[in-house]
Chains A and B, each alone.
Chain A
Amino acid sequence: SQQGEEDPQALSIQEGENATMNCSYKTSINNLQWYRQNSGRGLVHLILIRSNEREKHSGRLRVTLDTSKKSSSLLITASRAADTASYFCATDRAFDMRFGAGTRLTVKP
Chain B
Amino acid sequence: GEEVAQTPKHLVRGEGQKAKLYCAPIKGHSYVFWYQQVLKNEFKFLISFQNENVFDETGMPKERFSAKCLPNSPCSLEIQATKLEDSAVYFCASSQYGSSGNTIYFGEGSWLTVV
Are A and B physically bound partners?
yes
Q: Give residues of chain A (1-55) contacting chain B, Cβ–Cβ below 8 Å.
A: 3, 30-31, 33, 39-45, 48, 50
The prevalent SS among residues of B at the interface is: loop
Instruction: Decide: A96 and B48 in contact? CB cutoff 8 A.
Output: yes
A96 proximity list for chain B (CB < 8 A): 45, 48, 56, 58, 99-100
Interface size band for A = 20 to 34
A88 proximity list for chain B (CB < 8 A): 42-43
Cβ-defined partner of A48 (8 Å) among B45, B48, B103:
B103
B41 proximity list for chain A (CB < 8 A): 101-102
Q: How far is the CA of A42 from the CA of B23 in the complex (A)?
A: 13
Interface size band for B = 20 to 34
Binds A, one of B62-70, B79-87, B104-112: B104-112
Q: How far is the CA of A88 from the CA of B101 in the complex (A)?
A: 16
A108 contacts chain B at the CB level, 8 A cutoff: no
B101 proximity list for chain A (CB < 8 A): 30-31, 48, 50, 92
A33 proximity list for chain B (CB < 8 A): 103
Instruction: Decide: A43 and B100 in contact? CB cutoff 8 A.
Output: no
B42 proximity list for chain A (CB < 8 A): 3, 88, 99-102
Cβ-defined partner of A93 (8 Å) among B35, B58, B100:
B100
| Ranked 6 nearest A-B pairs via Cβ | A42-B106, A99-B43, A101-B42, A97-B99, A45-B103, A43-B106
